[in-house]
């Protein structure tokens, strides 16, 4: 029996008795029911569908950037329905908390809207979580696409409804050939046992080897489990809240941007001190981009990941095409997957859409 199973047995024994159920729920962040919930898969998107465009976090600086995002969606073969408050701006937020939540709720409730794309990330999604109508969302499952700050929205909806979320490109970015291919095979034309997040094609030759998109191998082996995760900053924010996911036996994927090694260290340490890292079946890190330089001595990001995660003893790699990169995959939250840390691959074991 491995160490994680031993700990789970001890917790179960300790909470036995009349108050055991309540204590067990507290021990897992208050989301004991999520572990038993089958993922709710939205309908796959097809050309001609209507996409709702919203901004649940920050807004762009210029309205023209919003029109650009609409044209990106149209270029994919969809029509666009803009949120009522899409053009609102409130300091670093795209309107008030209630306005941003209302746009989310309306898009899920609108029977003529087939999927929902987020304009951008930024900051603010955790602020709207108490204002979402999870009953409406549960009764109208739809593809919700976005990443970075949108992690909080994906995670909360999955915890409350079981619905699969799609950690992938925002509407306000250009799709590379790689990004389009990843989007197609996960959201529009799902493939059996699709490998996601692998490096894009690179033409190697004498004196010419891939440098940017490399996988770093830490702990080998294979792990299977449902995918949870997204942006590290946002996941750390949700710890101890009603929107925290169940980490037990999951494959955890993480990425971030503009965070110094000590900041990444602090957030991973928080997950470790909370006992969450010790519960996962495997770790698949994406990219940590635009890492600021720090004065004086500093660990590298690689060393931080090694120190915090190697002692867990679970399959563990980093460098997948997840996060703030132009060549970006789509990771479906809640779907069963296999992490092969020897081959450096993340494989979906089921379709993410119906």
CATH number at residue 235: 3.50.30.60
- Catalytic, 198? Answer no
Residue 34's pLDDT is: 52
In a domain, 123, yes or no: yes
Q: Which one of the listed residues 154, 158, 198, 324 is annotated catalytic?
A: 324
Indicate whether 198 and 334 sit together in one domain.
Answer: yes
| Residue 87: CATH number of its domain | 3.40.50.10740
CA distance 334 to 190: 15
Whether 102 and 84 have beta carbons less than 8 Å apart is answered as yes
Indicate whether 77 and 131 sit together in one domain.
Answer: yes
In a domain, 187, yes or no: no
The pLDDT tens digits for 156-188 are: 999 999 999 999 999 999 999 999 999 999 999
Q: Which one of the listed residues 55, 70, 148, 318 is annotated catalytic?
A: 148
Indicate whether 145 and 256 sit together in one domain.
Answer: no
Sequence-separated (6 or more) residues with CB below 8 Å from residue 190: 44, 351, 352, 353
Using CA atoms, how far residue 300 sits from 3, 90, 181, 230, 293, in Å, is: 28, 37, 32, 21, 10
Indicate whether 87 and 220 sit together in one domain.
Answer: no
Indicate whether 337 and 236 sit together in one domain.
Answer: yes
Indicate whether 198 and 341 sit together in one domain.
Answer: yes
Say how many CA atoms lie within 13 Å of 314 toward its Cβ.
27
Indicate whether 165 and 198 sit together in one domain.
Answer: no
User: What is the value of pTM for the model shown?
Assistant: 0.89
In a domain, 149, yes or no: yes
Residue 41's pLDDT is: 98
If one counts the domains in the chain, the total is 2
Which residues of the chain are modeled with pLDDT < 70? 1-36
Indicate whether 198 and 321 sit together in one domain.
Answer: yes
Indicate whether 168 and 240 sit together in one domain.
Answer: no
Indicate whether 104 and 245 sit together in one domain.
Answer: no
Residue 124's pLDDT is: 97
Q: Which one of the listed residues 244, 255, 259, 338 is annotated catalytic?
A: 255
- Catalytic, 154? Answer no
Using CA atoms, how far residue 179 sits from 62, 143, 170, in Å, is: 25, 17, 11
Strand 195-196 and strand 216-219: pairing? Answer: unpaired
Write out the residue range of the structural domain in which residue 274 sits.
194-202+213-292+300-348
Residue 16's pLDDT is: 35
* Residue 145: burial class (beta carbons within 10 Å; 0-12, 13-18, 19+): buried
- Catalytic, 324? Answer yes
The pLDDT tens digits for 291-302 are: 998 777 899 999
- What are residue 52's DSSP bridge partners? 81, 116
In a domain, 71, yes or no: yes
Residue 289's pLDDT is: 96
In a domain, 218, yes or no: yes
Indicate whether 243 and 101 sit together in one domain.
Answer: no
Indicate whether 283 and 225 sit together in one domain.
Answer: yes
Q: In the chain, count H helices and then E strands.
A: 11, 14
In a domain, 33, yes or no: no
SS (H, E, C) 54-78: ECCCCCCCCHHHHHHHHHHHHHCCC
In a domain, 268, yes or no: yes
In a domain, 9, yes or no: no
Q: How far apart are the first and last CA of the chain?
A: 37
Residue 294's pLDDT is: 77
């Amino acid at each position: 029996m491995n160490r994680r199973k031993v700990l789970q047995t001890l917790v179960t024994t300790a909470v036995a008795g009349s108050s055991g159920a309540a204590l067990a729920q507290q021990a897992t962040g208050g989301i004991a029911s999520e572990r038993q919930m089958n993922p709710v898969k939205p309908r796959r998107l097809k050309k001609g569908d209507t996409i709702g465009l919203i901004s649940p976090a920050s807004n762009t600086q210029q309205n023209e950037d919003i029109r650009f995002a609409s044209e990106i969606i149209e270029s994919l073969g969809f029509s666009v329905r803009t949120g009522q408050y899409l053009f609102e701006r409130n300091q670093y937020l795209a309107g008030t908390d209630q306005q941003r939540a209302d746009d989310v709720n309306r898009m899920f409730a609108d029977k003529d809207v087939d999927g929902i794309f987020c304009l951008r990330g930024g900051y603010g999604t955790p602020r709207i979580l108490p204002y979402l109508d999870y009953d409406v969302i549960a009764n109208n499952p739809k593809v919700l696409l976005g990443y970075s700050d949108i992690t909080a929205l994906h995670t909360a909806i999955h915890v409350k409804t079981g619905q699969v979320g799609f950690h992938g490109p925002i509407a306000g970015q250009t799709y590379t050939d790689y990004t389009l291919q990843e989007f197609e095979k996960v959201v529009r034309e799902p493939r059996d046992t699709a490998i996601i997040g692998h490096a894009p094609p690179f033409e190697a030759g004498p004196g010419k080897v891939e440098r940017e998109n490399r996988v770093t191998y830490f702990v080998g082996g294979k792990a299977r489990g449902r995918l949870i995760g997204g942006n590290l900053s946002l996941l750390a924010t949700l710890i101890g809240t009603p929107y925290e996911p169940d980490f037990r036996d999951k494959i955890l994927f993480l990425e971030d941007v503009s965070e110094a090694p000590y900041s990444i260290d602090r957030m991973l340490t928080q997950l470790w001190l909370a006992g969450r890292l010790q519960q996962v079946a495997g770790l698949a890190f994406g990219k940590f981009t635009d890492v600021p330089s720090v004065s004086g001595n500093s660990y590298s990001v690689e060393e931080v990941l090694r120190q915090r995660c190697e002692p867990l003893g679970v399959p563990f790699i980093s460098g997948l095409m997840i996060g703030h990169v132009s060549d970006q995959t789509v990771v479906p939250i809640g779907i069963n997957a296999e992490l092969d840390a020897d081959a450096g691959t993340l494989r979906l074991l089921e379709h993410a859409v119906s």
